[in-house]
Amino acid sequence: MNGTWFPLPPAKAPDQMHPIALAYIGDAIFEVYIRQYVLSKLNHRPEHLHRQTTKFVAAKAQAKVLAQWLPLLSEEELAVVKRGRNAKSGSAPKSADVLEYRQSTALESLVGYLYYTGQVDRLNELLSQAAREIEGK
């Protein structure tokens, strides 16, 4: 296995994948991490879980996280972020402006790339930093 959760590698190498495809899996990985993070806290009421998770996975929050990540990223990671930010993906959701949506897509592309390249330690490092950033710690 290549570091992914399931023995189903993508049809293309991660550096050959479209950034929107990386964002597609990155969105899922980011949300699973955040759900686990929220469950690691004491309050497990369903409405609280959903509200907390939504606070983390919103495009606005992800755009802020990416801004915090930028000085920490390698050249390789920055290249993935740029590809994700510049990718055309349709219209932004009503809850975010176009810039926030593009930044959010860039973050998700990087998460997907790190996931598919098996860089689990780096992924955990960045995701734990994201959780602290969103919670203001």
Q: What is the pLDDT of residue 108?
A: 97
Domain ranges, ordered by start, for the chain: 17-135
For residues 62 and 133, is the Cβ–Cβ distance under 8 A?
no
**CATH number for the domain formed by residue range(s) 17-135:** 1.10.1520.10
For residues 53 and 35, is the Cβ–Cβ distance under 8 A?
yes
Length of the chain: 137
DSSP H helices, 1-137, are 19-39, 46-57, 59-69, 75-86, 98-116, 120-135
Whether 2 has a pLDDT exceeding 60, the answer reads no
Q: What is the pLDDT of residue 1?
A: 40
- Reported as a single tens digit per residue, the pLDDT across 19-71 is 999 999 999 999 999 888 888 888 788 887 878 888 788 888 899 999 999 99
Return the closest-CA partner of residue 32 out of 55, 3, 53. 53
Orientation of helix 19-39 relative to helix 75-86, angle to 10° = 110
Angle (CA) 63-23-106 rounded to 5° is 35
Q: pTM, whole model, 2 decimals?
A: 0.90
* Tokens linked to 71: 């000085």
- Residues annotated catalytic, as ranges: 27
Orientation of helix 120-135 relative to helix 98-116, angle to 10° = 150
